[in-house]
Amino acid sequence: MRLAYTEKQKAFRAEVRAWMADHVPAAPLPSFDTEAGFAAHREWERTLNRNAFSAVTWPKHLGGRGLDLIEWLIFEEEYWAAGAPLRVNQNGVFLLAPTLMEYGTDEQKARFLPRMAAGDDIWAQGWSEPGAGSDMAAIRSKAVRDGDHYVINGQKTWSTRAVWADWLFGLFRTEPESQRHHGLTFVLLPLNLPGITIRPIQQLNGLPGFAEIFFDNVRVPVENRLGGEGEGWKICMATAGFERGLMLRSPARFQQTARQLVDLYRANRESADADPAIRDAVLKSWMDAEAYALATYRTASRLAKGGQIGAEASTNKIFWSELDLLMHETAMSILGARAELMAHAPDAGDIGHWLDGFLFAQAGPIYAGTNEIQRNIIAERMLGLPRA
């Protein structure tokens, strides 16, 4: 791996930086866990798409720029450095899209990907169920074949932003008597079909960032199946690999938070140095964020040569989720009582975003597969240890 950028990569960085300077909203958008914020973030997706910045690694005919992973990392670095809005369609762009690229038919790619890039279809994830969270093999929701349709019954839960999303990708049991990871099928379905009921679930901050979804004899065309019938486990494991391994959380996100943490420490150094552990935590946060970036560049270089991400995706997921927690816990310690200021509080200034980040970081060790499950994967698949 060469730790130097080519002239082409430098030119791309300059282009992205200039575009972001011209287009990133001057004021932060409302939370995308509100109806107005969701609409504002959808419009941002459309703005990105007008310059093919919504999904830079996709082929041009599907709405992308046809760039490689190194260029994607450059784009992400400039995106986060510019303070651009969070991506409301991250489930679609970063999780479902790579899965569609690998397992979808040409017709499915042409049907779904351009609308996803344009922000016309915002996607939610439908894996978790009551009794089947990180243990997806316990899924019980059924999709029974009836001619050229599946009839779906059951319930999904903890579906992020499903309250306002347009489509859902989910895993359903197509062989009613099957057990564990057998007999599951990956299905794509619009959330406005008859028989679907969506109920919001409030987050810690009171906003309906999650939802539970109920299916009552919902009919979905067979052509909405991704991959073969009964192949759902294999396909969803590929999606989970994308989620944990590379695309969902680029290192630039954590590098930007680490830089902000260093600035926060410098601005409050007199009080922060009263506890030597704070300085050590700030230093460790910055070093870990840089180390994660270098490790990701190494992974991207390996993938460019034809390599694949395997069980190591679990190590990535544990690393970035615990790093995010450390950075926000350290910020809370620096701020002291001021850490309780919400972003919209009159005197919050630029402090309030730390509490939002701290609350969200609590979910990091849980979503995308709990860290406990990831440690089991590392033990069994990477280290070859016996199953407990």
* 3-state SS, residue 243: helix
Q: What angle do CA 184, 189, 190 make, to 5 degrees?
A: 160
The span from the CA of 66 to the CA of 56, in Å, is 6
Neighbours of 10 (CB within 10 A): 12
What does the alpha-carbon distance between residue 357 and residue 371 come to, in Å, rounded to a whole number? Answer: 19
Our CA dihedral for 86, 90, 94, 99, rounded to 10 degrees, sits at: 180
How far from 247 is each of 195, 251, 367, CA to CA, in Å? 33, 10, 15
Nearest to 312 by CA among 383, 378, 251, 384: 378
Catalytic sites, residue numbers? 243
HSE toward the beta carbon, residue 299, CA cutoff 13 A: 22
Cα–Cα dist 56/49, whole Å = 9
Q: Which residues contact 283 (CB under 8 A, 6 or more apart)?
A: none
DSSP string of 173-221, one letter each residue: ESSTT--TTSSEEEEEEETTSTTEEEEEE--TTSS--EEEEEEEEEEEE
Instruction: Report yes or no: 48 and 78 within 8 Å, Cβ to Cβ.
Output: no
- State whether residue 358 is helix, strand or coil: helix
Distance separating alpha carbons of residues 148 and 223, to the nearest angstrom: 8
Residues 244-283 as b or e (16 or more Cβ within 10 Å = b): bbbbbbbbbbbbbbbebbeebbeebeeebeeeeebeebbe
Residue type, 170: G
Backbone region of residue 349 per phi and psi (left: phi > 0; alpha: psi in -120 to 50; beta: other values): left
